[in-house]
Amino acid sequence: MSDNVTSKQLLDHYARKVYADAAEAKAAGRPVGWSTAIVPQEFFETMDLPLVYPENHSAVISARKRALGFLERAEGYGYHADVCGYMRVNFGYLLDGARGDDDVPPAPVPDFVVCCNNYCTMIVKWYENLAKELGVPLFMIDMPYNPEGAVDEARVRYIRAQFDRLVGQLEDLTGRSFDRERFREVMEISRENARLWKQAFALVGHVPSPANGFDFYNYLTLMVFMRGRAETTEVLRLWIREMEGKIARGEGPFRDAEEKYRIMFDGIACWPQLAHTAKVFRSYGINITGSNYPDGWAVQYETGDLDGMARAYASVCNNMSLERAVEKRVEIIRQGRCDGAVYHMNRSCKVMDFTTYEVQRRVFAETGAPYITFDGDQADPRVFVAAQFDTRVQALVEMMESRKEAER
């Protein structure tokens, strides 16, 4: 790569490459896995087993407005339209023959599947069905919900034992032994990437923000796919340098407009209507400077500390109590210096939806930042209603403006 390459160009390059690499591995007869998005990837990276992430795959398909055909295919097979849109797109893709094209990345049919339920419960059912339908082994890494906040010792012991079991399963799968030295290296890289990810977030909080709108949702691809690789370190460092440069030059997120309002966007992006939501935000000078969602991949532990690793993976925000969900959002709003909050009532994501009302009441009580909720979906384009979104954003702008005036 040349010196003039931007972090975004590098990101796009790697985002395409992950699918091509998986297809290549498959063609070469190496086992390829499908995995949930916040899995302890360190084990698979160590064993050099390529993983493809169906949630990312479904998100890409949805953002490229190709979800509907797959959704209908899955629904025709018997999947209810109420269940997760990512899952329906994924099964639709399989039922359609798992073929890639210009918009649909070529995710090869897996030889094994890996499920870690540290941010979603129903995903276990998704992976059960994949394993059964494809006749492939399922490696289940169970991380029980933490209803009262802390990850207790019994949970740590349980997860640690599953890590040990997983190592044996991967050795059996590959016929190779698990290289502890390599594992330490991967842990070290992953730790550094998690640190850089956090650092990038702190920069996004600068006024005006050096990052634009849904930027960090894009960089997330790296954290999902390549959290244990040096390439990610390279892109994140470059992105951070770019943001630092913008801060030094006093540049904001938009070339042609001022950053007038800063918001926390709660939940997964509304991928099928990404362009519309981004356009409406921009028309008011709204920038997203915080989100609970990308934070899930900032998995932090000390290299070599497997207990700490178990605790870190089990502490993903969705796996924690309502109180912790509130604390996290208050922290995000403060760090991002957000004037308001937009909660995506994402029809697919019941984990977030089912406490949204209480969470937003408490976050508002703590921060005073006004908020709105809109109905949408991470994959299904039929849920979102533009008029509802537009009028609610307008209302939020009015609330943010009157709050600003009151503070002047």
Partner 1 sequence: MSGEKRIRAILAGLAVVAARPGEAAQRLTREKGKPLVGVLPYYAPEEIAHAAGMLPVGVWGGTADASMAGHYFPPFACPLVKSALDLALRGVYDGLAAMIVPALCESLTFFGQNFRAARPDIPFVPVVHPQNRRTPEGVAYLRAEYEKVRDRLAEIAGREVTAADLDRAIGIFNDHRRAMRAFLEEAPRHPSLVSPRVRHAVAKSAYYMDKADHAALVGELTGLLKSLPEESGAGKRVVVTGIMAEPEGLLDLFEEVGLEIAADDLAQESRAFRTDVPDGGDPLERLARRWSLVEGCSLAFDPGKERNRILLDLVRNSGARGLVVLMMQFCDPEEMDYPLYRKEFDAAGVPVLHLEVEPRMSLEQARTRLQSFAEMI
- Interface ranges with partner 1 (CB under 8 A): 77-80, 82-84, 87, 117, 120-122, 124-129, 131-133, 138, 140, 142, 144-148, 152, 154-155, 157-158, 161-162, 165, 321-322, 345, 347, 350-351, 353-358
CB-wise, 203 or 322, nearer to partner 1? 322
**Identity of the residue, 188 or 353, whose beta carbon is nearer to partner 1 in the bound complex:** 353
Backbone angles phi, psi at 346, to 5 degrees: -80, 110
> C-beta of 219: minimal distance to partner 1 in Å?
28
Which CB, 5 or 357, lies closer to partner 1? Answer: 357
151 contact partners, CB below 8 Å, separation of at least 6: 310, 311, 314, 315
User: 153 vs 258, which CB is nearer to partner 1?
Assistant: 153
Single out the residue of 69, 54, 68, 35 nearest to residue 105, CA to CA: 54
Question: How many other CB atoms are there within 10 angstroms of residue 373's CB atom?
Answer: 18
In the sheet that 371-376 helps form, which strands lie side by side, from edge to edge? Answer: 286-290, 261-266, 340-346, 371-376
Shortest distance (Å) from residue 78 CB to partner 1: 3
Considering the complex, state which of residue 43 and residue 127 has its C-beta at the smaller distance from partner 1. 127
Residue 160: CB minimum distance to partner 1, A: 8
| Minimum CB distance to partner 1, residue 91 (Å) | 8
Question: Residue 80 or residue 255: which is nearer to partner 1 going by CB?
Answer: 80
CB of 321 to partner 1, least distance (A): 6
CB 9, min distance to partner 1, A: 39
Nearer to partner 1 by C-beta: 93 or 126?
126
Cβ at position 347, least distance to partner 1 in Å: 7
Q: Least distance in Å: CB of 168 to partner 1?
A: 12
131/224 with CB nearer partner 1 = 131
Residue whose CB is less far from partner 1, 29 or 147: 147
- Least distance (Å) between residue 114 CB and partner 1: 12
Angle, vertex CA 170, rays to CA 165 and CA 174, nearest 5: 155
